[in-house]
Amino acid sequence: ETAAAGNQRLYGVNTPAEVIDKYQPGGIIYFTAARGPDNVRNPRQIATLSNGLQAAATGLRQPIPLLISTDQEGGALVFRLGAPATAMPGNMALGAGRSAADAHRSAEVIGTELAAVGINQNYAPVADVNVNPANPVIGIRSVGEDPGLVSDLVAAQVGGYHDGGVAAVAKHFPGHGDTAVDSHFGLPEVTHTREQLEAIDLPPFQAAIDESVDTIMTAHVVLRSVDPSGAPATMSEPILTGLLREELDYDGLIVTDALDMGGATSTFPPDVAPVEAFKAGADQLVLAPQMDVAFHAVLGAVRSGEISTRRLDESVYRILRLKLKRGLFDDPQVDVELAEKTVGAPTHLEDAQVITDHTTTLVKNDAGRLPLTDDPRNVLVTGWGVTTTRTLGEAISRRGQTVTVLETGTTPSQARIDAAVAEAADSDLVVVSTTNAANVDVDTGLPTASAAAQRALVTALLATGKPVVVSGMRNPYDISRLTEAATYLATYGFTAASMESLARVLFGEVDPVGKLPVTIPRADGTGALYPFGHGLSYGG
């Protein structure tokens, strides 16, 4: 879709400048082509777009610069700027590394690269405490299950983003870590008591507030222990004003999660959701599904007195204060040439690799197979992920091995399993990647088709008698359904740096020092298979 076509479909005008002139928004969010025109193709294009948008905004009768935002969390799941931008580790990888200094530096690199292309507000860090292994939307986006660890690394990241030159956004308040429904598609309910909320969910947000976080993003979740009405937190005055503003004493910006998500659209129509979110205490309304409808609904609510001018002024003040803090009124323009040099700078890539080397976790090494000492000449890399298996295969081949890559997909067919088994027969070592192979259907409690097929692949490879190393590339819980595997590692992501680190660990070039930031439960629910903090190393 072209920019003109996308803008016509969404806003009824052709150019970005015309969008600014029509709505005079306080901010812009950049996305990839999944939501329309691709706003983030390369550093030069992004910086040029940012400069053009700021020029349009500051050329209006009331020249006010824009907050330009995106989601660049780190890791391989939620990011908008791909290569050449530096892929820093995701949150759960940082949780495995246990280093506040690494978390700070990771955020600082991301912030520096975003600021270079004119993005001044990053929707990160995720401050959710992932206490539910079945959480379909948070998972490795969270630091882990321990509120203290999450708090420490969230605070470090807030400081890192600030030092990198962007506004940090702690999300998703009041906590999205104990849900089994993805709020992109439905409305989850968090059943925590007030005591659980204060012990588990709130500490990371308090830590972010103590670090002077610029912004907090809401969650589309129901929390009846605070708001018995069942309204989503995004539209709940008891949660946003009562809990966040008054009890936690937070006076920074509150931004909604995207209002076009199922957790918002399933509850309120498009002319009601933005008004209710604003009345609840939100300052910024993000991605209303129908811009014209939302714009006129809020305008009408102000004109009718449903939203007081005093309440409106409070939000305007917070937004302007943040823009002043970020220096946008001085000069919102960026140097396009410098942007190209900053994004993906060699020092950033080096830091990403060093930090990632601190995160890989050796969970199981029962056969003592690792580190590899017998120099396997022929290695089969198989399992999930076209890019993942190829990148890992390239990393292993750089060590002098002959590598065969056979990607089997998220749900391996019997034909692909048979092909992998046939390739294994001629291999000295098999490395198989899995992704969310412990997932179960929320209705039946049985493994999903994908999880069952991945387990069948691993079982078939183990039956060959060849040495098999299993690596969980996403959530680390896969081993709970693959207990017959003697060797298992968790990488918490599948960036190129993650695959290089995995290869380094396999060949003993670095010690696996990562520790589990979550408990891995037994598949039958009878307790822990591996406890929080577990992790083997070669040093004993």
What are 501's two structure tokens? 């680190």
Q: Cα–Cα distance between 540 and 531 in angstroms, integer?
A: 18
Q: Tokens standing for 462?
A: 């183990």
Phi, then psi, of 246 in degrees rounded to 5: -85, -50
Q: Does 70 share its domain with 145? A: yes
Is there a domain that residue 537 lies in? no
Shared domain check, 259 and 124? yes
112 phi/psi in degrees, rounded to 5: -60, -45
Q: Give yes or no: residues 253 and 282 share one domain.
A: yes
Token couple for 539: 């040093």
382 and 259, same structural domain? no
Q: Does residue 22 lie within any of the structural domains?
A: yes
- CATH at residue 469: 3.40.50.1700
Contact 382, 407 (CB under 8 A): yes
Quote the pLDDT of residue 35.
65
CB neighbours (10 Å) of residue 33? 12
In the listed set 294, 313, 346, which residue is the last one of a domain according to the structure?
A: 346
* CA atoms of 534 and 477, how far apart (whole Å): 13
Q: What is the pTM of this model?
A: 0.95
Alpha-carbon distances, residue 535 vs 164, 171, 361, 515, 516 (angstroms): 32, 28, 6, 5, 6
Do residues 234 and 277 lie in contact, with contact meaning Cβ atoms separated by under 8 Å?
Answer: yes
Q: What is the pLDDT of residues 497-509, one digit of tens each?
A: 999 999 999 999 9
In a domain, 352, yes or no: no
What is the per-residue pLDDT for 32? 81
User: Which residue numbers in the chain have pLDDT < 70?
Assistant: 1-2, 33-37, 540
Claim to verify: residue 389 and residue 340 sit in the same structural domain: no
Instruction: Report which of 174, 141, 145 is spatially closest to residue 157, judged by C-alpha positions.
Output: 141
- Describe the strand order of the beta sheet including 167-173 as a list of residue ranges: 27-29, 67-70, 121-122, 167-173, 215-218, 253-255
pLDDT at 1: 57
Which domain, by its residues, includes 364?
360-530
Report pLDDT for 134. 85
412 and 438 inside one domain: yes
The number of domains in the chain is: 2
Question: For residue 442, is it within any domain?
Answer: yes
Do both 236 and 373 map to the same domain? no
**Residues acting as catalytic residues:** 184, 257
What CATH number should be reported for the domain holding residue 301?
3.20.20.300
pLDDT in tens, 429-480: 999 999 999 998 878 888 999 999 999 999 999 999 999 999 999 999 999 9
Same domain, 378 and 326: no
